[in-house]
């Protein structure tokens, strides 16, 4: 029988929220621990972010509707089951969200991609918008919004506001992150209870500089080697 690590109390606090999915899978947990290590260099870090994002996409798309269509195998007519319903859009929050994009597109290659550019002001920790380019048919799509880090939650909330301005509804949005702080989860789920949140882990707390502890440091800098 598989031995399960006891859930951390912060994890337990959010586990019963129907809109928050904490991905509890040994492959994800294992890769995340390499990501956290300061000795992991940019090349390996990028590869791990991509791999974890792909594993998360598997979980975050679990409830997509399936429709039946007739198919023919080499042997006989049969019924095929294909994803039906809305098409998908993927929106990475620049910069660090870009690190997750390829992993997601590997599984969902036909998704349209939008970009939202935000950076945190280091003093106020408030997000500053510098770019926004989204598909015109965004309201007709289910949206995977990507950012490895949910810290104060300010960037995620600001990005969702931009998606709403383009006509998207909160219930169409799934937010995927690798690490969440309890504070960020609380803020995002209160601001947007209709948004489904997927995270690979919930960490202990935010520090006085708005960093997730124990965390993994600055995700963007580690992905792009700008430390």
Looking at the annotation, which residues are catalytic? 120, 124, 218, 221
| Nearest residue to ligand PRP, scored by beta-carbon proximity | 220
Helix 98-107 vs helix 42-60: crossing angle, to nearest 10: 50
Closest listed residue to residue 100, CA positions, set 137, 145, 35, 68: 145
Q: Would you say 41 or 67 has its CB closer to ligand PRP?
A: 41
Binding of residue 152 to ligand PRP (CB under 6 A): yes
Q: Which does 60 bind (CB under 5 to 8 A by kind): ligand URA, ligand PRP, none?
A: none
Is the Cβ of residue 60 or residue 188 nearer to ligand PRP in the bound state?
Answer: 188
201 burial type by CB count under 10 A (0-12 exposed, 13-18 middle, 19+ buried): buried
Q: Which does 211 bind (CB under 5 to 8 A by kind): ligand URA, ligand PRP, none?
A: ligand URA
Stretch that binds ligand URA, among 58-66, 79-87, 111-119, 218-226 (CB under 6 A): 218-226
Helix (H) or strand (E) segment spanning residue 103? helix 98-107
**Residue 218 contacts ligand URA per CB under 6 A:** yes
149 touching ligand URA, by CB under 6 A:
yes
3-state class (DSSP) for residue 58: helix
Residues shown for the chain: 227
Q: Does 224 bind ligand URA (CB under 6 A)?
A: no
Instruction: Tell me which of ligand PRP, ligand URA, none is bound by residue 119, counting a contact when its beta carbon lies within the kind-specific cut-off of 5 to 8 angstroms.
Output: ligand PRP
Residue 219, interface with ligand PRP (CB under 6 A)?
yes
Question: Is cis: bond before 214, omega within 30 of 0?
Answer: yes
Task: Kindly state whether residue 212 participates in binding ligand URA, applying the rule CB under 6 A.
Answer: yes
The Cα-based distances of 122 to 47, 112, 185, 210 in angstroms read: 27, 32, 20, 9
Min separation Cβ 115 and ligand PRP, Å: 12
Say if CB 174 and CB 56 are below 8 A apart: no
- Containing 45, the helix (H) or strand (E) segment is helix 42-60
Closest CA to 99 of 45, 151, 25: 45
Which stretches of the chain bind ligand PRP, using CB under 6 A? Answer: 93, 95-96, 118-120, 125, 127, 147-156, 184, 210, 218-220
């Amino acid at each position: 029988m598989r031995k399960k690590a006891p859930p951390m109390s912060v994890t337990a606090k959010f586990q019963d929220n129907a809109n928050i999915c904490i991905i509890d899978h040994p492959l994800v947990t294992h890769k995340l621990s390499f990501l956290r290590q300061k000795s992991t260099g940019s090349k390996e870090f990028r590869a791990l972010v991509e791999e974890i994002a792909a594993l998360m996409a598997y979980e975050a798309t679990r409830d997509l509707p399936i429709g039946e269509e007739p198919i023919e195998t080499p042997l006989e007519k049969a019924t095929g089951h294909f994803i039906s319903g809305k098409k998908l859009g993927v929106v990475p929050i620049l910069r660090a969200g870009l690190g997750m994009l390829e992993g997601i597109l590997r599984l969902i290659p036909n998704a349209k991609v939008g970009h939202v550019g935000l950076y945190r002001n280091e003093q106020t920790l408030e997000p500053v918008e510098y770019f926004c380019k989204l598909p015109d048919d965004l309201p007709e799509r289910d949206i995977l919004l990507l950012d490895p880090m949910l810290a104060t939650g300010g960037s995620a909330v600001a990005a969702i506001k931009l998606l709403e301005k383009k006509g998207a509804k909160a219930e169409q949005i799934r937010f995927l992150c690798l690490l969440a702080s309890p504070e960020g989860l609380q803020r995002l789920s209160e601001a947007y209870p209709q948004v489904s949140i997927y995270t690979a882990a919930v960490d202990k707390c935010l520090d006085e500089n708005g960093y997730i502890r124990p965390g993994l440091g600055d995700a963007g800098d580690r992905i792009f080697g700008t430390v």
